Amino acid sequence: MDAFVSAPTPLKVFGRGHYACTRCKASKIKCSGEKPACANCKLVDKGHLCHYPLRDRKIVIMESDLNKLQAQLKHMEEMLKLQGPSVTPGSPPDPWPTIQSRDHVPDLPADSYLLADAENDFVPYKLLMLCAHHLPPQFYSVKLINAVCQTYSLEFYLVDGEQIDALVAEIYGFFAASNLLEKSHPATLPPMSPVPLCHFFSLLAFAEQLLNLSLDPLSLSVLVQSPAKKVPGKDFFSIATKLFHLSYEQPSIQFIQSLVILGLFACNLNRYNTVYNFFGVALRSAVANGYHRRMEPPVNLGAEELERHKVYEEKTKRLWWSIFVVDNIWAARMNMPVHIDYTDTDVALPTEGPVIRLKDTYDAESLECNVHLVKYLAKFNKLIYGPNVRTMSVNYITTDSMNQKLLVKNILLCIDDIVLQYEEVTLSPQKKKNMLLLPDRNLANLFLRYNQLIILVVEPLFSLIFDESSAANIEDIDAVFLAISRGVAAATRTVLIFLKLYEYNKLFVLGFWDSRHLFSALMILILASVVGCDSDNCTKAVALLTYMAENNNINAKNYLHKVEVVHGYLNEMPELSLNLDWSCRISDTIAQKAETFKAEQHDVFFNPFAEIGNTLPALFKNLSRNQSVTLLHDELGFHSFSRHTREKLLIISKSIQSWDNYSGLPIHLSGTARCPPMLAPNSIRSGNQSM
């Protein structure tokens, strides 16, 4: 331990500079204090008998030096405790226990107590025992990892297809050779890094959540649907987080992939801040490695080395854009700033440049469509849901009217931008494909994210049309209702997609985003039903949400309760006629589920854009272009509503908007001076923090 703890420099020393040796003291003569022998002992040839007594001197040192020494000592004691039960802080320890073999010992400075990356690259014995205890049969792990490879790993670079089989074989070979469960004490083990283990267990956790499967603990060979009280993947997730170390100076691709997977799993645990942090660390780790900048190959590389460099560049490009997409999507969900802007990176897009084909089924085209989508998402989220516009002008005064006019202007510009630039250009080829013929959900996920973007953009308009005092701030009624109709169409397409996913067994029953997108669409359809739109899709959406909640989807349970709250408020208004059939089950809508879509069924075509476009609801079509703003509420029938009803509708619409971001921050529809009224927090089962 002396190698790690340096002696402090005393500020002041109390006592003699030196003490007499034992012979001089016994003879009562003055000692010179020389070491190893004083002058008197040398003179009589007794230098070998010259010894000095050990005496403590009182010294004064800096408090910061003392705290540093105590921190170093505490850190070393904790490290020794992790090496095995036989090591105690009071016993002289072996500086490098034989639990794991090491190739080298890092040369740390004397005043450093920070671990190098090499010090993180081992797994303590107790944690290895925990991994061995929860290691499932290999066939089960292969099934789970294949599920991730055939779903999310097609869109995002979560798994290295060239190395995953070798990784599984290495892990099972390691535990088979070590035979940990049959040993009662630590033994010398071959090295095992926590990073591949963390990646492995995080994949198992995420896959169990996707499939809603668990392994029968009795037979260890039968796959069963998870019981209602069991959270699939929770045990694997717990192990993966224990294996995770944040203090890697040079994080690997596998390390960053593990962070993304852990974040995706935590989405469905109501751990929203945790997800934001996981994605943030993943993105910043990628930035620290330089993945956000275009990579140039080193000079004077041979043909084989150049090929390896191109493969590595392709992997980092895939990983970078994957992190960029998931971080932007989650930041918009949380109404928080993104960790990096699109303009801060010059990496080629997934399909740009020479695309290196690797041994996997990764879809670069799908990822690129998502990259372009989240560019708009980040921009629109900042324009509509961000803070008010500020200027440096001393005379600048914000007003409710100015805020509302600016909001409407931003919304209309965003809608035109995304429809003309993204839907009609990037999304146009995808609108002609048969979603059912694809073996994965790439296209369905892309359509769902696009619909969600439309919903987020147009949602604030409902508060404006429900607020009679805001009617004067709507300058272009036709444009406003066209935007609302696009939102209603997007919500309808979302419900139709989920009905087909359920029918063909592609619904992620425990998936966070499936429940999230369905809830957002349902809220828009409920608001639209107030102004006369068909509510049949509302009942179907409620049936789907109920099905997911009954299968232990935590977020679906919370969302379903919010629907109950909104429905209860609407039923208190006699002027409204929204009737949701809560007894309806999804099996009543879709009587028989297909096991899978057969390739020979080419006559069965489904694309949500072919089912419903962006057409105006019939009620909205009757509005004349030259209609006066003051007649807006009369045309919608609002003149027959009581003042109480109009106020309740406004509260509901604003509450729905606040639910669309984690912190419950309102959009500035009512100015900066006051917060709009919301539904009472105690009417929500778990409170806003769990939503």
Residue spans per domain, the chain: 22-52, 128-215+231-334, 422-660
Using pLDDT thresholds of 50, 70 and 90, give the confidence band for residue 390: very low
Domain formed by 22-52, architecture: Irregular (4.10)
Task: Give the closest residue to 492 by CA, choosing from 596, 398, 612.
Answer: 612
Render pLDDT for 266-284 as a digit per residue (tens, 0 to 9): 988 878 889 999 999 999 9
More confident residue, 642 or 243: 243
Angle at 52 between CA 50 and CA 55, to 5 degrees: 175
* pTM, 2 dp: 0.76
Residue listed under structure tokens 């045990």: 235
**pLDDT computed for residue 150 by the predictor:** 83
Weakest mean pLDDT among 13-17, 267-271, 473-477, 577-581: 13-17
Is 651 in contact with 530 (CB distance < 8 Å)?
A: no
Among 155, 140, 143, 259, smallest CA distance to 198 is for 259
pLDDT of 396 over the 70 cut: no
* pLDDT at residue number 519: 93
Q: Is residue 502 predicted with pLDDT exceeding 80?
A: yes
Q: What is the mean predicted confidence (pLDDT) over 369-374?
A: 93
pLDDT digits (tens, 9 = 90+) for 284-326: 999 999 999 987 777 787 888 888 888 899 999 999 999 999 9
Q: What is the pLDDT of residues 437-459, one digit of tens each?
A: 766 788 899 999 999 999 988 88
More confident residue, 647 or 332: 332
Burial class, 584, CB count within 10 angstroms (exposed 0-12 / middle 13-18 / buried 19+): middle
The encoded tokens of residue 387 equal 């803070």
Which pLDDT score is estimated for 618?
Answer: 45
Q: What is the mean pLDDT of the chain?
A: 76
**CA 56, CA 189: separation in Å to the nearest integer?**
44
The residue among 558, 487, 550, 552 whose CA lies nearest residue 516 is: 558
pLDDT at site 613: 53
Residue 297: what pLDDT? 75
Give the side-chain half-sphere CA count within 13 A for 218: 1
Confidence grade of residue 369 (pLDDT, cut at 50, 70, 90): very high
Query: Which residue from 249, 156, 251, 252 is spatially nearest to 203, judged by alpha carbons?
Result: 156
Q: Please tell me the predicted confidence (pLDDT) of residue 661.
A: 56
Residues in the chain, overall count: 691
